[in-house]
Amino acid sequence: MVSENSPAPDFKLKGSDGKMHGLKEFSGKYLVLYFYPKDDTPGCTTEACSFRDGISKIKKLGAEVVGISNDGLESHDKFIEKYKLNFLLLSDPESKTIKAYDSYGNRGALFGFGTLRKTFIIGKDGKLLKIFDKVHPEGHSDEVLGFLKGIA
């Protein structure tokens, strides 16, 4: 079980840029690591576009945004192109990283088990600074920005 002030679980996942990515490459920066259920669905699109629109303010505070779902890279590519997303998406087809971050579970009777919508702010030293467990896609990037302003 992950908790605030504990080390963030490491990962090695392929990204939308075709490269492998891990937690260590983000050391020295804040990392906004957000988990979402599915590319190009209403809530996930709202959340991704919100991060897209706020990315310059987030980067000015020394943070990077990375999204993770279990969708494949082809799906990520279409999602990025359709909505002009300007940040990295990682593919976790086996949900190993999703589960390591306690972001897999029952999404209700309609959706069953799958990726839960959660966001983690990871510090420059690799520790979990903030966990957003109950994410509402609308306005979530403003919530993240507010937290970053308080620590940057």
Q: Give the pLDDT confidence of 9-46 residue by residue, as tens digits.
A: 999 999 999 999 999 999 999 999 999 999 999 999 99
Residues 103-110: contacts with CB under 8 Å, at least 24 apart: 103/35, 107/37
Q: 149 by DSSP, 3-state: which?
A: helix
Q: What is the pLDDT of residues 69-91, one digit of tens each?
A: 999 999 999 999 999 999 999 99
DSSP 126: S
Is residue 126 predicted with pLDDT exceeding 80?
Answer: yes
pLDDT at 112: 74
Is residue 150 predicted with pLDDT exceeding 80?
Answer: yes
Is residue 109 predicted with pLDDT exceeding 80?
Answer: no
Q: Which two tokens stand for residue 32?
A: 């906004």
Is residue 44 annotated as a catalytic residue, yes or no? Answer: yes
- CA neighbor of 35 nearest in space, from 110, 112, 121: 121
E-only strand ranges, the chain: 12-15, 20-22, 30-35, 63-69, 88-91, 104-106, 113-115, 118-122, 128-132
pLDDT at 16: 95
Residues 6+ apart with CB under 8 A from 13: 20, 21, 22, 68, 90, 91, 92, 97
Is residue 111 predicted with pLDDT exceeding 80?
Answer: no
pLDDT at 113: 84
Is pTM beyond 0.85 here?
yes
Assigned CATH topology for domain 29-151: Glutaredoxin (3.40.30)
Among residues 31, 33, 44, 80, the one annotated as catalytic is: 44
**d(Cα 145, Cα 50) in Å, to the nearest integer?**
11
